[in-house]
């Protein structure tokens, strides 16, 4: 901490709308349309999208968000033209190569949600290394959903539970949560979708049971700190009842402390 007077520090800090969601999930959509509008190839949009992650990650830290989940590549995105898929895979590799050092120095703990099978072995190694290098960091958890599908996640969890011979009566919601790709993350409080669509596209199906949703037409590369603030303000104005009658501020799925409980499944 610096010895700056509080008012001066406050001038650099974004105003923090309260209550802050502990876990924010972002469906980073609209890269392709962002590029098309500029007469650029879709991959240029994906590159601009990756550049934006850093900016929003930093703002999230400043706003006091503890976990940021970003949807980067879905199990359905393999349906895209091969050139785009290859480009997206390369982009992940390049991003790890270029940004891992900075992310680590900034205290970011990277976790991965998704299937590593099906991804090139060298990229798998890069991902595993990024998790290993940053595993003791605690400033913010960056959960990268890559080759991720919510249905695949629940299926994979069920398969592991069955392989371990766990009896049906022992399979509870809590137990299943331990078998998700990243065990014991708090549930997302807020899911933001950029790019204007009103759908989940297979993102965090299990975890988002009681998440608040926020949608903006802004394409992901243009989604900035002001937009994030607006989303958090909208969240702060919501009444969460979790099936009850009166508003509650505590998400029952949020009882874990992410810095201590996050473990790669």
Q: Per rule CB under 6 A, is residue 218 in the interface with ligand IPE? A: no
Which span sits near ligand IPE by CB under 6 A: 9-17, 29-37, 120-128, 172-180?
A: 29-37
Minimum distance of ligand IPE from residue 200's CB (angstroms): 8
Minimum distance of ligand IPE from residue 220's CB (angstroms): 6
Give residues 14-53 in contact with Mg ion (rule: CB under 5 A).
Answer: 29
Give residues 55-74 in contact with ligand IPE (rule: CB under 6 A).
Answer: 71-74
Distance separating alpha carbons of residues 52 and 17, to the nearest angstrom: 22
Ramachandran category for residue 98: left, alpha or beta (phi over 0 → left; psi -120 to 50 → alpha): alpha
CA 224 vs. chain centroid, Å, equals 16
Distance separating alpha carbons of residues 152 and 263, to the nearest angstrom: 19
Query: Which residue, 24 or 161, has its beta carbon nearer to ligand IPE?
Result: 24
**Active-site hit among 16, 77, 104, 106:** 77
**Catalytic residue status for 29:** yes
Q: Tokens representing 54?
A: 């850093």
Query: Which residue, 141 or 144, has its beta carbon nearer to ligand IPE?
Result: 144
Give residues 91-150 in contact with ligand IPE (rule: CB under 6 A).
Answer: none
**Catalytic residue status for 77:** yes
Site string for ligand IPE, 178-197 (x = CB under 6 A): -----------------x-x
Q: Per rule CB under 6 A, is residue 28 in the interface with ligand IPE? A: yes
Query: Which residue, 29 or 153, has its beta carbon nearer to Mg ion?
Result: 29
Minimum distance of ligand IPE from residue 142's CB (angstroms): 15
Q: Tokens representing 230?
A: 């607006």
In the complex, the residues that contact ligand IPE under the rule CB under 6 A are 27-33, 71-74, 77, 88, 195, 197, 199, 201
- Mind telling me the catalytic residues? 29, 77
In the complex, the residues that contact Mg ion under the rule CB under 5 A are 29
């Amino acid at each position: 901490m610096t010895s700056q007077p509080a008012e001066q520090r406050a001038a650099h800090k974004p105003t923090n709308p309260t209550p802050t969601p502990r876990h924010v999930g972002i469906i980073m959509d609209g890269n392709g349309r962002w590029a098309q509008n500029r007469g650029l190839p879709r991959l240029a949009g994906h590159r601009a999208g990756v550049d934006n992650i850093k900016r929003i990650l930093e703002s999230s830290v400043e706003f006091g968000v503890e976990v940021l989940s970003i949807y980067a590549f879905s199990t359905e995105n393999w349906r895209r033209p091969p050139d785009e898929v290859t480009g997206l895979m390369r982009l992940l590799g390049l991003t790890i190569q270029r940004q891992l050092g900075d992310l680590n120095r900034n205290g970011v703990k990277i976790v991965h949600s998704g299937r590593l099978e099906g991804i090139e072995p060298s990229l798998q190694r890069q991902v595993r290394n990024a998790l290993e290098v940053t595993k003791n960091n605690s400033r913010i958890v960056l959960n990268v959903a890559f080759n991720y599908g919510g249905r695949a996640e629940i299926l994979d969890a069920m398969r592991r539970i069955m392989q371990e011979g766990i009896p049906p009566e022992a399979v509870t919601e809590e137990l299943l949560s331990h078998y998700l790709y990243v065990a014991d993350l708090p549930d997302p409080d807020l899911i933001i979708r950029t790019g204007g669509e009103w759908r989940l596209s297979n993102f965090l199906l299990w975890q988002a049971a009681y998440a608040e949703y926020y949608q903006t037409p802004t394409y992901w590369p243009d989604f900035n700190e002001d937009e994030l603030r607006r989303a958090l303000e909208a969240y702060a104005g919501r009444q969460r009842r979790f099936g009850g009658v009166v508003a509650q501020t505590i998400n029952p799925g949020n009882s874990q402390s992410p810095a201590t409980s996050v473990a790669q499944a």
